Structure 1
Amino acid sequence: MINQLANLNWISVIIAFVVYNVIGALWFTLFFSKPYKMALGKENETLPNNPIFIAGPAICTFVVTLTFAILLYALNIRSLGDAIGLSLLIGTGFLVANTTNIAINPNIPRPILYSIISGTYHLVGIMLVGVILVMMR
Structure 2
Amino acid sequence: MIEALSRLDWLAIGAATLASFVLGALWFTPLFGRQWDRSLGISRERGSRYPAIYYVVPFVSSALVSVATGILIVATGVEGWGESAALGLVVGVGYSAAITFTNAVNPVMPHPLAFAAITGSYHVVSAVAAAVIIGAF
Structure 2: how far apart are the matches of 1:48 and 1:107? 24
1:87-135 CA-partner distances (Å, limit 9, x unpaired): 1111101000011111111221101000110011111101111111111
Aligned to 1:5: 5
How far apart, CA to CA, are the structure 1 residues paired with 2:121 and 2:49?
Answer: 23
Distance in 2 between residues matched to 1:65 and 1:76, nearest whole Å: 16
Give the aligned partner of residue 109 of structure 1. 110
The match for 1:19 is 19
1 CA distance for matches of 2:108 and 2:22? 27
Kindly indicate whether residue 56 of structure 2 is the aligned counterpart of residue 55 of structure 1.
yes
- 1:1-137 paired onto structure 2 within 5 Å: 1-43=1-43, 45-46=44-45, 49-136=50-137
Q: Which amino acid aligns with 1:30?
A: P
CA distance in 1: counterparts of 2:34 and 2:75, whole angstroms: 40
C-alpha deviation, 1:21, in angstroms: 0.5
Structure 1 position 48, deviation (Å) = 6.0
Distance 2:97 2:8 in 1: 26
| Residues 2/107 of structure 1: CA separation in 2 closer, same or farther (3 Å cut) | farther
Letter in 1 for 2:75: A
**Percentage of pairs with the same residue:** 30
- Amino acid corresponding to residue 131 of structure 2 in structure 1: G
Q: TM-score, normalised by structure 1?
A: 0.93
Q: Count matched residues.
A: 135
The whole-number CA distance in structure 1 between the counterparts of 2:136 and 2:82 is: 11
TM-score by length of 2: 0.93
**What amino acid sits opposite 2:22 in the alignment?**
V
Change in Cα spacing, 1:18 to 1:71, as seen in structure 2 (3 Å) is same
> What is the CA-CA distance between 1:13 and the residue it aligns to?
0.5
1:2 to partner: Cα distance: 2.3
